[in-house]
Structure 1
Amino acid sequence: MKNSYLLWLIISISFFILFGCSSLRHSLYQSNALDLGWFDQTFYLISQGIEPIVSFSDNHILGDHAAIILYPLSLFYVIYPDLHWLLIIQSFALSITILPLWKLAKQANLSDNSSLIVVLIYLLYPLTFNVNLFDFHTEIIALPAIVWSILAAKLNFRLQFMFSIILILSCKAVLSLTVTGIGFWLFFNERKREYGLFALFTGIVWFILATQFIIPQFNNGEVAAVGRYSFLGNSVFSIVTNLFTNPKIIFDHIWNLPNLEYIFLLFIPVIWYLNLHHFNVLIPAIPSLLLNLLTDYQPQKDLIHQYSVPIIPFLLLLVITSMQYKKKIAIFTRYTLIWSLFSFLALAKYDFFISKYTKQMGSLSAMKEAIELIPPEVKVLTSPQFAPHLSHRSIIKLAINDKKPIDIDNFDNILLNMRYPGWRNSRYTIDDLVKELKNNLNFKLEYSHKDVVLFKNLSNSKI
C-alpha cells in the first residue's frame, strides 16, 4: 500500500512538472508551428468534422505518418478545443510510463528500492525532460505502450500485449519497425513464439500498408522522410532493398563523428549498466537506432527531439536486466543514481527557461494584444512562434524563407514579429514582407508595437 501510494505520488509530481514546463514554454511563445501548431490544427479540424488538411503542408494528416491515434484523441477537442490538451496528453504519457516500468522491474525480481532507482533513472534520463519541451509528437504516446508490451509478453498477458502493439502502430508508421524488432526479439531471443509472431506479422503488414498505400494515398507521393536517406534510394522499397543487398554503403555512412557523438549521448546516462552479456535486450531498438545513424539530419542525433524515444524502453530494460546480476546492488545503485542526476544536469535543457526562452519577453504583451485582434477562421500568414496560438482555423501559413514566394493577397491578416522572425533564415523574408505590405494599398497596418506588426487585408469584406 505504501509503495503504491509512493508510485502514484511520483507519477503525479512528474506529470505536473512536465505539464507545467511545457505550458510555460508555450506561454512564452517558444512553441512552434512545427509541430505543436501542426497537431493543434489537426485536432481542431477533426473535432469540427472538417477534413484534416494541415495548411502548413496542404496535406491530409494521414499522409504525414499515418497516425490514426489522432482521430480518437481529437475527442478531447470536442469537449473543449484547447491546445493544452496536447500538452496534457504528452505529459501524461511520459509520466504514466512509470507504472509499467515499475511493474517490469518488479517482474525481474528487483527490490522496491531497486525498482524505484529504475524509475528515477528514467525520469532523470535527459530525453524524458527534453522531448516534453519540443512541442508535441505521437511517438511519446507510444512510449508507455512499448514498455507495457514488454511486460505483457513476459507475464503472458496475451490481450494486453495485442492491445499494446496495436496502440504503438496507431501512433506513427515508422514505429512498425520497432514493433517488428520486438517481434524478432521475442521470437528468437525470449522464445515467446506466439507473441513474437504477432508482433512480426502486424509490424510488417502495417509498415507495408502505411508506406505503400495510406501515406501515398493522402500525401500524393512518397513518405516524407525518404529524402533523408536518398543515398539508399528514392523510395521506401529501394531503401529497404539496399539495406539488405548493399551493406557496405551502410557501414560507410555509420562511421562518422556525429554518430559517435550521438552514441555517446544516448548511452552515457546509463553507462554503468552497459553489460555486453545483456545487449540482446537492445535488439528491438536497432531499427530506430539505425534510422538515426544513417541520416545526416542532425535532430535525429540528439537527446532533444523525438527520434530516440523508441529506444528509451530498451535502454531501461538493459538497466533492469543488468541490475538483476549486480552484486552489492545497494551501493552500486546509489552511485549510479548520482550519475543519472549529473547526466540530467549536464544534458537536460532546463536552462532554456533562463536563456533561450526569455529572449522574447520584451515583446510578450504586444504579441498577445496583436493575436486578440485577429478574428476566428480568417486566413492568416504569420511567424512560426505565433502559429500554435492561431491554429484553430482552416488556413494558416508560415512567413518563412522556405515558403517563398508568398502571395500576400491570399490572406486576411498577416501577423509578424520583426525583431524575432521565428527561424533564423527568415529575417530577410520578414523584412521584405513588411516592405511589400506597407506599399500595398489593399493592406492596412492595424497594429504596431515593439516590432510586432499586424496587417489587415481591406479587400476582404468579411473582416
Structure 2
Amino acid sequence: MSCISALILLGCSSLRHTLFQSGVLDLGIYDQVVYLISQGMPPISSFLGFHHMGNHAAWAVYPLALLYKIHPSAYWLLAVQAVSLALGALPTWLLALQAGLKESQAITMAAVYLLYPLVFNVNLFEFHPEVMAVPVFLGVVLAARLGRLVWFCVGVVFILGCKAVLSLTVAAMGIWLLVFERRRFCGIFALTVGISWFLIATQVIIPYYSNHEAAAVARYSYLGDSVLEVASNLALKPELVLGRVFSLDSLEYLALLVAPVIWGLAPRHLTPLVSAIPALVLNILSDRHAQRDLIHQYSLPILPFLMLAVISSLAAGSGWLRSRRAIILWALVAFILLGKYGYFWSRYLRTIDNWQATQEAIAQVHTTDDVLTTHSIAPHLSHRPTIHFIDDISGPPSNVAQYEYILLNVRHPDGSRNPEFAANLVNQLKKNQLFQLGYQREDVYLFVKKSLIN
C-alpha cells in the first residue's frame, strides 16, 4: 500500500514540477542548498541570502546530498517527500496492531492515513523537510510503547533536525508520554531535548547563521519581535490572543483538521492530541492564513497524533463508525472534497501554451554562472551558487550586470502575473550593451551576457 502510494505521490509532484508549477519557496531553496552541499560548497541560499542552518536549523537535509552525488536533481527531493509521506502508513498499521485492533482494522487505519487530504496536498506543495518527520513521529511512539529506547532516542533526534519548530511538538509529546502513557524515560528525554533544542536553535544557531530572529516571528508581530518575547506575552498576556483563538477562522480550521477522522474521535481518547497543541496554537495565532488549511505543511505535526487518537478510540470500542467499508467511504469522501487533485486540470495547465519554449530556453543555459529568472523557472536552474528570481512584486533588479543569464517568460511572469512588467524589462535588456538575445520564442526570452558568447 505504501509503495503504490509513494509512486502516485511522486508522479503527481513530479508532473507539477515538470509543468513549471513549483517555485523558489521552497523547492528552489532546498534544491540549491542540497546541490551546494553535494558539491562541497557552503550551503548559502542565494534566494535567502544566508546559510542553510539560519533558515530552520534543519540539519537533517545534509544527508540528502548523498542522493545528489548520484545525480543532482530536484526530483530526488520530491521522491524523498513522497516516500516519507507514504511511509507513515506503515507505523500507523503497526500502532493499530499494537493497540489491539484486528488486521483488517489496522489496514483500514493505514488507508485512512493515506487518504487524509493533507498527505496528498502537502506532497504537491514544493518540498519541506518536516515531511521526513511524519513517519518518524509515529515510529518513535511505537518504539516507546515497545520499550525500544535506543530507537526512540535516535528518532527524536532526527525529528529535531527536520525543522527547529518541531522541537515544541517533541516537548509536548514528552509531556504526553510522561503523564498519560507512563513512559517515564521517553517522556523526560523528549521533553528535555525538545526544549533544549528549541532554545539552542532559536537563540544561537538561527541568529548566528542568518543574523536575525527566526523568520516566522514576523507572523506573530502583535505578540513581540523575538521568540522569547512572543513566548513571554503568550504566558503573561493571554488576552492578546483570545480573539484569535475564539474566532470563526479558528473554528473553520479545526473543522478542516478533524472532518476526515471525526468519526473516530472520542473525548475520552484525545490525550495523544496533547502532543499537537504547540503546532495547533502556532497555526491559530499566526497572521498567515496558509497555516490554517490542509494545503500547506504547517499542520503536518498534528497528523500523527490525530491518527493515534483515532486508533485509541477504535481500540476502546468507541467511534461513530465501526464498519471498514463505512470508514473507507468517509475517508474517500473527505479526500474528494478536500484534496487538491483538481489543480491538475485547472491552475497547473495555465503555462502549458509555451511549455516547450521554456524547456528549450533552459537547455540553452550551459554553465553554472549567475542567473536571474522567474519564480517558477528558478527551481529548474538552481544548481549554481547564485540565482535570483524577479517579478512585479519583488521589483526590478538593482544591477542586471551581475548576471550571466536572464531568462524571462513574458506570457507567464509570476508575481501578480503582470505581463507589462516583464515586457518592460525585456525591452530594457534588448537595449543593454552587456547582453545579447540568445533565445526567443512564444514570449520566452533568454538574454546571455556577451562575455560568455565571445
Q: 379, 384, 400: which is aligned to 1:393? A: 384
Paired residues of 1:400 and 1:430 also in contact (CA < 8 A):
yes
What is the distance in 1 between the residues matched to 2:76 and 2:46? 21
1:132 pairs with 2:123: yes
Aligned partner (choices 235, 242, 247) of residue 251 of structure 1: 242
- Contact 1:401 / 1:426 at 8 angstroms: preserved in 2? yes
**Secondary structure of the residue that 1:81 maps to in structure 2?**
coil
What is the CA deviation profile of residues 28-73 of structure 1, one whole-angstrom value per residue up to 9, with x for unaligned ones?
Answer: 1111111111111011100001001101111100000000011122
Contact 1:19 1:88 in 2 (8 A): yes
Residue 248 of structure 1 and its aligned partner are, at CA, apart by 1.4
Alpha-carbon offset, residue 327 of structure 1: 6.2
User: What do you get for the CA RMSD once the two structures are aligned?
Assistant: 1.5
Structure 1 counterpart of 2:201, which letter?
Answer: A
Gaps of 5+ in 2: none
Does 1:445 find its partner at 2:434?
Answer: no
Distance 2:392 2:199 in 1: 35
Aligned counterpart for 1:215 among listed residues 177, 202, 206: 206
Is residue 409 of structure 2 the alignment partner of residue 417 of structure 1? Answer: yes
Per-residue deviation, 1:461: 4.4
Superposed CA offset, 1:128-156 (max 9, x none): 00100111101100001100111111111
TM-score of the pair, normalised by structure 2: 0.97
- Aligned partner (choices 339, 345, 354) of residue 330 of structure 2: 339
Q: d(CA) in 1 for partners of 2:319 and 2:180?
A: 28
Letter paired with 2:411: R
Is it true that 1:42 corresponds to 2:57 in the alignment?
A: no
Higher deviation after alignment, 439-448 or 86-95: 439-448
Identity of aligned residues (%): 45
Residue 432 of structure 1: aligned partner: 424
SS at match of 2:406: strand
Q: Deviations over 1:100-157 (max 9, x none)?
A: 1111000100001110111111111000001001111011000011001111111111
Deviations 1:277-321 (A, max 9, x none): 112210000000000000120110111110001100011011101
Taking the aligned partners of 2:22 and 2:196, their CA distance within structure 1 comes to 35
Alpha carbons of structure 1 residues 225 and 196: separation in structure 2 relative to 1, 3 Å: same
Match in the other structure for 1:146: 137
Please state whether the residue corresponding to 2:438 is helix, strand or coil.
strand
Q: 1:410 deviation in Å? A: 1.4
1:5 maps to what in 2?
Answer: none
Correspondence for 1:12: 3
Which of 372-381 and 333-342 deviates more?
Answer: 333-342
Q: What are the superposed Cα offsets for residues 204-226 of structure 1, whole Å, 9 maximum, x if unpaired?
A: 11001100000000001111110
**Alignment equivalent of 1:353, drawn from 340, 344, 348:** 344
- Name the CA distance, whole Å, in 1 between partners of 2:31 and 2:308: 33
Q: Is 1:105 aligned with 2:105?
A: no
Q: Which residue of 1 aligns with 2:68?
A: 77
The DSSP-based 3-state class of the residue aligned with 2:447 is strand
User: Is this contact kept in 2: 1:376–1:392, CA < 8 A?
Assistant: no
CA distance in 2 between partners of 1:422 and 1:445 (Å) = 21
Aligned residues: 453
Cα deviation code 1:242-296 (max 9, x no counterpart):
1111111121222222222211111111111221111221000000000000012
TM (norm. structure 1) is 0.95
Listed as ranges, the gaps of 5+ residues in structure 1 are: 1-9
- Tell me the SS of whatever aligns to 1:447: strand
Structure 1's consecutive aligned runs of 4 or more residues displaced over 6 angstroms after TM superposition are 327-330
Q: Confirm or deny: 8 A CA contact 2:244 2:250 kept in the other structure.
A: no
1:362 CA displacement: 1.1
